[in-house]
């Protein structure tokens, strides 16, 4: 007797059932609440609220048909025809940043990072009562990635045209069409995108299967589901085979799909192959995959890279993950101490100097080039990796120094900076008021983004913005996307860091000490100098007093130099006329 289809569907629904959402739901508080200290306790209510707000941001970025549990009441159903051009349902997922494109490469990095963090510091989500929303956010993202992987050797890497999307500034009801779907496949490969998505599926499978690395960490958030973990793992395996065995060979994905290079061009694929193999080795208990990952490390000379950890380059995270797995299962053949040495060479370059990054006058870790657009992202990703590595550090001094350095970067982002601005929307009265977000702005005049409307229509709670410039200046200008745009990957490291603080910190986030008006008293004059504006490229704007001081010093110096030159000329003339002089 065959089981009726309805019963199969019900059983499947129960097997995939997510953690029930709270009733009443968590909703962000007014920004004024972020200026009120809490009682010293674990879990700290301010850190818990921050964690909730960071997750809430992802709900505001949703595309497709919104569920009845939608908490962001100003959002609407949108982009309901995505995938029709390829006769597939590609609705859902998340809009990438302040616009309306959907991009697989940065999304897969985002969920990989969040799942890795929720595996190590997951009990922070539990203590903050945010695990249901973590589960909800991950499934909304992962379920779309599953849609984007309709066949073993096919992965859709972008929906919507970048140029068409950039020409539109308005709400989610009138998103311009057409929205083409771009794919990689067996003959037109994208090794980086396929491997990066495999890594995301494998990392999240580990989370849902409760595969912990070490008792040094709190352990995974309580959202285990063996059936969902198995589904994610199957997609991870298929995509990894696609990445390594496509008949079209191996290539960066923009080689096959030039359109994706306009927003998220990839610099290589060795790091994605290595991190996918590593997460899969842990998911499948495979020493051979671990050895394969070590092979990629050598083959692609990944040890020579000392730059940032981000959606494009996962290399700095690899030694940490190698060490975690080697310590957790020595039978894999990895040498934990070897990977400690590699990791600490990189982290020492950050903390003690010698690497390509430097600290701004205000204390922000800054990389020329990578930090010029979205300065907080390299800093927070470094802080996240440092915090994760602390239990593995070889000496107590490193444990202390790494922790203190990471904490200083977090505090900078949360308001301990020259602008006295916490760079998370809605966290405090001094938070950014003008995030670069077409949907939140409420405007529709692309030629007048800054003042139409004068005040942002909706508060994009929990959005981590790009951040200040290399002089620690933040102008809070809506059209200045390098400083004010939000993005999926910007929030990812702060989620892990906030979960860790919920676990361990009785002290409030720094911004609770900032009263209304603090940023207004520090806001710089003039205009920025970046990829959005060149008005301020004559240099940082100085107060009149500092201008006078800096003007006097060169004047006195110039006078001194002139006097010395005259003296030397006189001596030279006397020597020329008097050989005995």
Tell me if residue 94 falls in helix, strand or coil.
strand
Q: Output the CA torsion sign for 476, 481, 486, 491.
A: negative
| DSSP letter (8 states) at residue 84 | G
Residues 6+ apart with CB under 8 A from 409: 363, 364, 365, 379, 380, 382, 383
| Residues 121 and 494 sit within 8 Å (Cβ to Cβ) | no
- Alpha carbons 121 and 1: distance in angstroms, whole number: 47
| Residues 346 and 317 sit within 8 Å (Cβ to Cβ) | no
Please, what is the angle between helix 270-284 and helix 226-245, to 10°?
Answer: 140
- Alpha carbons 114 and 112: distance in angstroms, whole number: 6
Q: Any idea how long the chain is?
A: 581
- Alpha carbons 550 and 539: distance in angstroms, whole number: 13
Give me the phi and psi of 566, to 5 degrees please: -60, -45
- Alpha carbons 316 and 32: distance in angstroms, whole number: 38
Choosing from 344, 472, 476, 480, which is the catalytic residue?
476
Using alpha carbons only, give the angle 261, 199, 373 rounded to the nearest 5 degrees: 40
Question: 191, 188, 202, 45: which is closest to 127 by C-alpha?
Answer: 45
Mapped to the 3 state alphabet, what secondary structure does 235-304 carry?
HHHHHHHHHHHCCCCCCCHHHHCHHHHHHHCCCCCHHHHHHHHHHHHHHHCCHHHHHHHHHHHHHCCHHH
Choosing from 126, 135, 401, 485, which is the catalytic residue?
485
476 belongs to the catalytic site: yes
Q: How far is CA 369 from CA 175, 307, 441, 487, in A?
A: 32, 10, 28, 18
483 belongs to the catalytic site: no
Strand partners, 6: none
Give me the phi and psi of 461, to 5 degrees please: -50, 135
Cis, peptide link before residue 171, omega less than 30° from 0: no
- Alpha carbons 264 and 270: distance in angstroms, whole number: 17
355: its two tokens: 């690497």
| DSSP letter (8 states) at residue 392 | G
The residues that are catalytic are 476, 485
């Amino acid at each position: 007797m065959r089981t009726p289809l309805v019963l199969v569907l019900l059983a499947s629904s129960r097997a995939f059932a997510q953690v029930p959402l709270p009733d009443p739901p968590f909703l962000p508080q007014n920004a004024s609440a972020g200026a009120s200290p809490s009682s010293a306790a674990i879990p700290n209510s301010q850190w818990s609220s921050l964690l909730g707000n960071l997750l809430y941001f992802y709900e505001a970025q949703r595309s497709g048909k919104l569920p009845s549990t939608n908490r962001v009441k100003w959002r609407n159903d949108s982009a309901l025809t995505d995938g029709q051009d390829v006769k597939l349902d590609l609705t859902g997922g998340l809009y990438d940043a302040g616009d309306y494109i959907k991009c697989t490469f940065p999304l897969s990095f985002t969920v990989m990072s969040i799942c890795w963090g929720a595996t190590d510091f997951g009990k922070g989500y539990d203590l903050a009562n945010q695990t249901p929303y973590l589960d909800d956010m991950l499934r909304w993202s992962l379920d779309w990635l599953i849609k984007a992987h309709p066949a073993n050797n096919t992965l859709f890497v972008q929906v919507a045209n970048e140029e068409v999307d950039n020409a539109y500034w308005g709400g989610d009801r009138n998103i311009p069409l057409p929205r083409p779907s771009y794919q990689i496949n067996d003959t037109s490969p994208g090794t980086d995108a396929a491997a990066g998505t495999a890594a995301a599926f494998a990392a999240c499978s580990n989370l849902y299967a409760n595969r912990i690395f070490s008792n040094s960490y709190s352990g995974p958030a309580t959202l285990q589901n063996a059936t969902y973990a198995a589904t994610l793992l199957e997609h991870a395996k298929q995509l990894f085979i696609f990445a390594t065995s496509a008949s079209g060979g191996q290539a960066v994905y923009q080689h096959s799909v030039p359109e994706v290079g306009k927003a998220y061009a990839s610099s290589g694929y060795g790091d994605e192959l290595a991190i996918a193999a590593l997460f899969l080795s842990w998911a499948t208990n495979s020493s051979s995959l671990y050895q394969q990952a070590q092979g990629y490390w050598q083959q692609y000379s990944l040890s020579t890279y000392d730059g940032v950890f981000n959606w494009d380059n996962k290399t700095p995270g690899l030694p940490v993950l190698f060490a975690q797995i080697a310590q957790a299962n020595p039978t894999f053949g990895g040498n934990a101490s070897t990977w400690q040495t590699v990791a600490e060479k990189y982290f020492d370059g950050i903390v003690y100097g010698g690497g390509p990054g430097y600290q701004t006058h205000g204390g922000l870790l800054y990389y020329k080039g990578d930090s010029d657009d979205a300065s907080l992202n390299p800093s927070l990703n470094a802080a996240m990796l440092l915090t994760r590595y602390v239990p593995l550090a070889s000496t107590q001094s490193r444990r202390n120094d790494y922790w203190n350095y990471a904490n200083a970067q977090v505090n900078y982002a949360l308001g301990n900076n020259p602008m006295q601005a916490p760079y998370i929307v809605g966290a405090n009265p001094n938070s950014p008021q003008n995030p670069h977000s077409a949907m939140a702005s409420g405007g529709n005049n692309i030629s007048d983004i800054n003042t139409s409307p004068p005040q942002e229509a909706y508060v994009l709670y929990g959005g981590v913005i790009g951040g200040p410039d290399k002089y620690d200046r933040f102008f809070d200008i809506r059209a200045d996307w390098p400083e004010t745009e939000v993005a999926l990957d910007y929030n990812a490291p702060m989620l892990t860091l906030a979960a860790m603080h919920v676990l361990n910190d009785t002290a409030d986030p720094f911004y609770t000490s900032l009263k209304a008006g603090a940023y207004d008293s520090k806001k710089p004059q003039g205009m920025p100098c970046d990829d959005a504006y060149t008005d301020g490229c004559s240099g940082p704007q100085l107060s009149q007093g500092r201008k006078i001081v800096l003007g006097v010093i060169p004047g006195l110096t110039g006078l001194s130099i002139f006097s010395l030159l005259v003296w030397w000329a006189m001596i030279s003339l006397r020597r020329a006329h008097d050989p005995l002089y």
